[in-house]
Amino acid sequence: MPIYHTLGSIPPKRHTQFRKPDGTLYAEELVSTEGFSSLYSLVYHAYPPTIVKALGEPYSVEPKIAREKHLKHTSLIGFNIEPVDDYLQSRKPVLVNADLHISLAAPRKSMTDYFYKNSQADEVIFIHVGSGTLKTGFGKIRFAYGDYLVVPRGTIYQLEFDTPDNRLFIVESFSPIRSPKRYRNAYGQLMEHSPYCERDIKRPTDLQTHDEKGDFKILIKKQGLIYPYIYGTHPFDFIGWDGFHYPWAFSIHDFEPITGRLHQPPPVHQTFEGNNFVICSFVPRKFDYHPLSIPAPYNHSNVDSDEVLYYVAGDFMSRKSVVKGQITLHPGGIPHGPAPGSVEKSIGKESTDELAVMIDPFRPLMLTEDAVRIEDENYFKSWVI
């Protein structure tokens, strides 16, 4: 979100002398995106952010593709992903293309002996189960069930979980994650018709400067590889910062649904966008109020995009036998719609309590080996009468 924010101590003018109490200089760093043409922040470190003591051998975390080309309605039972202690090892990519990777994770332990940086993708981490704290040099963000954590590329972070029971739905975007353009005015402010506003955005707080030297392990991801780095100073040594590039959070529970007399199309649920895909939030809402309205969605053909739904909670009027953590993939090229009987059954209903995350990518998604391990192979038959 393009909201100016600042924490800690910064000098009155940028690119000027800013000295420690002992007279030595703090180290200024510009963290910029799209060269020097988009969002950026200026960060002031206790030490230069360039002190590398050792490099480890990189290792691959590239998704292993099991089904590159397909035309089959597919369902994945997400909670069948087994919990794993380590956060990075728990991340299992299931649906991928050149624009984004969708992963499931069930980490049991907090990140304590290393830090992580995705140097090539913004990350949207949806908290399905669990709570805790996102720790970065920019400050801390408390998170809980229903939060979207938006971590821009290049941000070094740790996740601290309150309990071992955690379920995450993660989107890696190889383009910047932003609020939909139609919700913003020419100055970047969210407008009155937007389903959320700046008051709903959680920004970092409680900046704590870690003025520490030693051996600090940072695992950096780029082009499908993890590069182990050992830095000589703590990565959270920020004395202060200001700008527009920093992690933030938004709760799906703060999304205000847009409703109407007749069934509203999926774009009214849009929450974020990247290049060639959108992320939408389906939340509890009143149904259509035309006297002849049909609350259940109509059959539709995805001509130019796939459709991914991640089911979070509640009863879904359009589907039967939906379980928490289930993912459905309806590929572009064939129609899909409500399950048999659900259209008639929906008539007269006044509201729904469903909660889901939807992703529409405009390039086909591929299934990974981790995906086919949790696939419901008979899902495509669910429209048989």
CB 134 within 8 A of CB 103: no
Going by the annotation, the residues of the binding site for homogentisate are 336
d(CA 303, CA 334): 8
What is the chain's length? 385
Give the active site residue among 5, 245, 263, 290: 263
**Residue 91, helix vs strand vs coil:** coil
d(CA 280, CA 278): 7
CB 53 within 8 A of CB 232: yes
Q: Is 245 a catalytic residue?
A: no
CB 99 within 8 A of CB 276: yes
| Cα 273 versus chain centre, distance | 11
First CA to last CA distance, the chain: 46
Going by the annotation, the residues of the binding site for Fe cation are 300, 306, 336
> Nearest-CA neighbor of 30 among 14, 41, 39, 38?
41
CB 131 within 8 A of CB 234: no
Going by the annotation, the residues of the binding site are 300, 306, 336
Catalytic residues: 263
